[in-house]
C-alpha cells in the first residue's frame, strides 16, 4: 500500500492533506482515504511491509468490495464515459509527447489521494480513486507521463524520491501548464492543477479529525511551528494570533477567540471578520517567508481557524 508508505514517511501529513477513514461530501481533493481496517492497518503500520496475514487480506478484500458496491453506479457511469473517450485522449497524449513510449494501464482504486501512479514492467499504472471524474483521470495520466519523461529517477515502485517537496511541486506545476495548453485545455473544464486545488480547499473540522486520526494511528503530524520567537517580520499582534492558535493546536479556534488576540481590550466593539481574515492572510504569507511553505492555518467556514500542526 503506497498510500500507507506516504503517510508513514510523513509526506501526506507534511502537505497537510486530510488523512481520514471516511470520504466526506466536500473537500475530497484534499482527502487521503485511509480506513482503519483491523487487522490490516495494525499489521502494516507495525511491519511497514506488504507481508499481511491471510486474515488481513480477507478483511481488505471485503472492505474493497463493500466500498465499490456502495458507489457502484458512480464508478460504472465514470467507466462508461471514460471508455467512450479513452482512445482519442490517449492518442492526444502520445501526439503531445512523442517520446512517451510506455503503455498506460488504468485501474480504479479505493484508498489514497484522488489518484496515484507508478512505473512497473515498462508501463505506467494509473490508479484514480473511485470517486474521480473522467477529467480527473485525464489529468492523472498527464501527470504520470510528465513525471516519467521529465523526472524519471523519481518514479517507480519503492522509489521514495518523489516525496521530496521540491520535486512534487515542480511536477505538479509542469503538468498544470500542460492542462492549459493545446490540445488539452478544451478537454478540461477545470484547469486548476492539484497543487492549486489543495491551496484553496480548506475545512478546519476535517483538519481536526485528521489530526486526531493520525494520533490514533500513532503517526502524529510533525510540527512546523514550535515557537513564535524565531519568526522574522511578524508584528506583536500577529504573534498574539499565532500564540492563540498554538495554544489550541489542531482544534478549531472561534473567530471570537481570535478577535481577543487582535483587540485584547475591546474585541467586542472592534470585531470584524474582514479584519481578522486580513491578519490571517498576512500571517500565512509571513510564515512562507520564514520557510514554512505549507499552509498550516486552515479555515472552518462560519466558525474560525485551526493550526493544523
**Which domain CATH number covers 299?**
1.10.10.10
**Co-location of 188 and 77 in the same domain:** yes
- Find the Cα–Cα–Cα–Cα dihedral 231, 232, 237, 243, rounded to 10°: 0
**Co-location of 153 and 258 in the same domain:** no
97-125 pLDDT, tens digit per residue, is 888 878 888 888 878 898 888 888 888 88
What's the length of the chain?
A: 309
219-247 pLDDT, tens digit per residue, is 888 888 888 888 899 999 999 999 999 99
Cα–Cα distance, 67 to 129 (Å, whole number): 11
**Co-location of 185 and 262 in the same domain:** no
Q: How far is CA 164 from CA 47, 160, 203, in A?
A: 23, 8, 25
70-82 pLDDT, tens digit per residue, is 777 877 888 888 8
**Co-location of 21 and 155 in the same domain:** yes
Q: Which residue range is the domain that position 176 belongs to?
A: 2-200
**Co-location of 51 and 132 in the same domain:** yes
Backbone angles phi, psi at 4, to 5 degrees: -65, -40
Domain stops at, among 139, 167, 200: 200
Check pLDDT > 50 for residue 157: no
**Co-location of 72 and 128 in the same domain:** yes
Domain stops at, among 200, 235, 252: 200
Residue 300 — very low, low, confident or very high, per pLDDT cuts 50/70/90? Answer: very high
Domain count for the chain: 2
Compute the chain's Rg from CA coordinates: 21
Residue 159 inside a domain? The answer is: yes
**Co-location of 35 and 82 in the same domain:** yes
**Co-location of 184 and 291 in the same domain:** no
Amino acid at each position: 500500500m503506497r498510500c500507507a508508505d506516504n503517510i508513514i514517511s510523513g509526506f501526506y501529513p507534511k502537505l497537510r492533506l486530510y488523512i481520514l477513514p471516511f470520504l466526506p461530501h466536500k473537500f475530497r481533493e484534499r482527502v487521503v482515504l485511509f480506513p482503519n481496517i483491523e487487522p490490516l492497518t495494525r499489521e502494516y503500520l507495525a511491519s511497514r511491509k506488504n507481508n499481511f496475514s491471510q486474515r488481513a487480506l480477507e478483511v481488505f478484500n471485503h472492505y474493497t468490495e463493500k466500498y465499490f458496491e456502495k458507489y457502484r453506479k458512480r464508478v460504472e457511469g465514470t467507466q462508461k464515459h471514460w471508455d467512450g473517450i479513452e482512445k482519442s485522449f490517449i492518442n492526444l497524449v502520445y501526439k503531445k509527447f512523442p517520446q512517451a513510449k510506455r503503455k498506460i494501464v488504468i485501474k480504479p482504486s479505493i484508498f489514497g489521494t484522488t489518484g496515484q501512479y507508478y512505473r512497473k514492467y515498462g508501463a505506467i499504472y494509473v490508479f484514480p480513486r473511485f470517486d474521480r471524474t473522467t477529467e480527473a483521470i485525464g489529468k492523472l495520466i498527464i501527470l504520470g507521463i510528465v513525471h516519467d519523461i521529465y523526472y524519471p529517477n523519481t518514479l517507480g515502485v519503492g522509489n521514495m524520491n518523489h516525496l521530496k517537496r521540491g520535486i512534487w511541486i515542480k511536477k505538479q506545476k509542469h503538468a498544470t501548464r500542460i492542462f492549459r495548453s493545446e490540445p488539452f485545455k478544451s478537454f478540461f473544464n477545470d484547469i486548476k492543477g492539484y497543487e492549486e486545488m489543495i491551496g484553496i480547499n480548506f475545512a478546519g473540522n476535517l483538519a481536526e479529525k485528521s489530526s486526531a486520526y493520525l494520533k490514533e494511528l500513532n503517526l502524529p503530524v510533525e510540527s512546523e511551528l514550535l515557537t513564535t520567537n524565531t519568526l522574522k517580520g511578524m508584528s506583536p499582534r500577529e504573534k498574539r494570533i499565532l500564540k492563540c492558535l498554538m495554544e489550541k493546536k489542531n482544534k478549531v479556534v472561534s473567530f471570537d477567540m481570535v478577535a481577543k488576540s487582535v483587540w485584547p481590550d475591546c474585541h467586542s466593539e472592534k470585531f470584524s471578520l474582514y479584519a481578522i481574515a486580513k491578519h490571517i492572510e498576512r500571517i500565512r504569507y509571513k510564515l512562507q517567508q520564514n520557510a514554512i511553505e505549507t499552509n498550516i492555518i486552515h479555515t472552518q467556514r462560519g466558525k474560525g481557524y485551526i493550526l493544523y500542526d
